[in-house]
Structure 1
């Protein structure tokens, strides 16, 4: 049985208050579960992959807070069926969602879970990316619900991770010497000149390499690449970019000669990840 996407959703910053990573991830996840018409208790594992967070919060693991907001098996003694919910953070920047897909494949293949929910959200430390023109990323959340499928032609192929040459050209960090008492609401993001072109070149190289390795005809594939388009609101999508790209691809007309997707992510490291995917019914 292959692993398929049962549902996917994104969430953007709404309202006058500050954006919260947990709220965006949870809202996308609830919409995802509603779309799939399944209850939170049917999710065995939640993997959260967001990086940037309000007030620069790094502990505790946000996955547990997202799990609580969604209501996934909060009392495993009183409600142990189908299984006690388990959640954890996985942080690998732009490649995080595809790394989580790789983990989900192992969990579903070994019957470690019936469904795996992946959440991603990035927000400006001050809670509104629109107010900081130098901050490159959007306040954006996303969620993927993954489960096994009886369709033998549907699902994900193996995930492959690729390392690029040269030093990392994107850094996000807290400059404590410069921030003083405002460190909870600021972050420094440095990207060297030409980083976008290098990221695109790495994504193209790993996509071509993946296609050669797995015998995929690129003329019959739709590449869902790093988010070149702006996310709704302002800025670039970051960890939720593969989810946004997937939804936009499904919403667009599909050429009849295209029979699969190639999902690729590239970011700091430099590193990239690629995986093939065929939705059910294609």
Structure 2
């Protein structure tokens, strides 16, 4: 048994509407299920990893609101699929959130707790439009990833590896309540320390190298799908790993969207890699996410049709 990607989608907010993390995540999830030709009733667990949300909403868990938006198993008693757990929760670890969710999904799927896990990742400016705040670095963007069990032993996701640093946080997003006054619901502070890009680059390159060595992965036969904490992160990572630029992909935002992709970056990067096709001689992915902490997560993925 292994964990595989059944479907993946991304979505952006209409230019004339205030962005909502709940609506973006819900829309991406619905599109993901449509692509997989499955109903919401067939999914047992939903994990939401988005960090930034409209009006700085903290309670209830955004995952519960997304679950309602998707219409996923809302009535425990009357539901016609008793085996569906209808369980949802938030898991927040910044840029590494999707990979953390994959690790949790592997555990749930391997024990037979559920047949499918839906991961949603959506970030929006608390004020509703990232494009109106030049100091806010991230894009209003949503994504969804549907994971399921496969009976095949080959392919799918490998072991998820997490790494951190004892150095002070390179990036932090927080709400300084004392200084926000009556405008706090629509504002957020994002601090990126001087040299944060180098910190993330060092940790990402070290983690990817260690992971490849431990798992017997040839990075020259692997497409590294990396997060994008800075615009040039992919090029610098390729140089650090000694790889041609064609073997490191950092996602490009959809046209008309401003900022950098945040929690949705691994899903957006995967979709762009699939659309472009794997380079010649490459038969697997290495997802690599780097963000606040500083922290890094990585996991290999081999499509089963490429095994």
Q: Report the more deviating stretch, 159-168 or 36-45.
A: 159-168
SS in 2 for 1:101: helix
Give deviations 1:122-158, integer Å, cap 9, x for gaps.
0000000000010000001110000012333220001
Give the match for residue 263 of structure 2: 239
Q: Find the aligned partners of 1:134 and 1:195 in 2 and give their Cα distance.
A: 16
Q: Report the more deviating stretch, 42-51 or 229-238.
A: 229-238
Give the match for residue 39 of structure 1: 39
Is the 1:220–1:260 contact (alpha carbons within 8 Å) kept by the matching residues of 2?
yes
Q: Find the aligned partners of 1:142 and 1:128 in 2 and give their Cα distance.
A: 17
SS in 2 for 1:59: coil
Give deviations 1:226-264, integer Å, cap 9, x for gaps.
124552301011111111111111111322311110001
TM-score, normalized by length of structure 2?
A: 0.89
Is the 1:30–1:70 contact (alpha carbons within 8 Å) kept by the matching residues of 2?
yes
TM-score, normalized by length of structure 1?
A: 0.97
Structure 1 stretches of 4+ moved >6 Å = none
The residue correspondences of 1:205-220 to structure 2 (distance < 5 A) are 205-220=206-221
Give deviations 1:23-59, integer Å, cap 9, x for gaps.
0001110110011111100000000011001101111
Q: Find the aligned partners of 1:266 and 1:27 in 2 and give their Cα distance.
A: 26
Q: Report the more deviating stretch, 106-115 or 196-205.
A: 196-205
Give the match for residue 133 of structure 2: 132
How many angstroms does 1:195 deviate by?
A: 1.5
Q: Find the aligned partners of 1:158 and 1:198 in 2 and give their Cα distance.
A: 24
Structure 2, gaps ≥5 residues long: 232-250
Is the 2:170–2:199 contact (alpha carbons within 8 Å) kept by the matching residues of 1?
no
SS in 2 for 1:223: strand
Give deviations 1:209-233, integer Å, cap 9, x for gaps.
1001111111111101112455230
Please state if 1:173 is matched with 2:174: yes
Is the 2:286–2:298 contact (alpha carbons within 8 Å) kept by the matching residues of 1?
yes
Is the 1:203–1:226 contact (alpha carbons within 8 Å) kept by the matching residues of 2?
no
Give the match for residue 302 of structure 2: 278
SS in 1 for 2:128: coil
- Aligned residue pairs: how many? 282
Q: Find the aligned partners of 1:185 and 1:231 in 2 and give their Cα distance.
A: 24
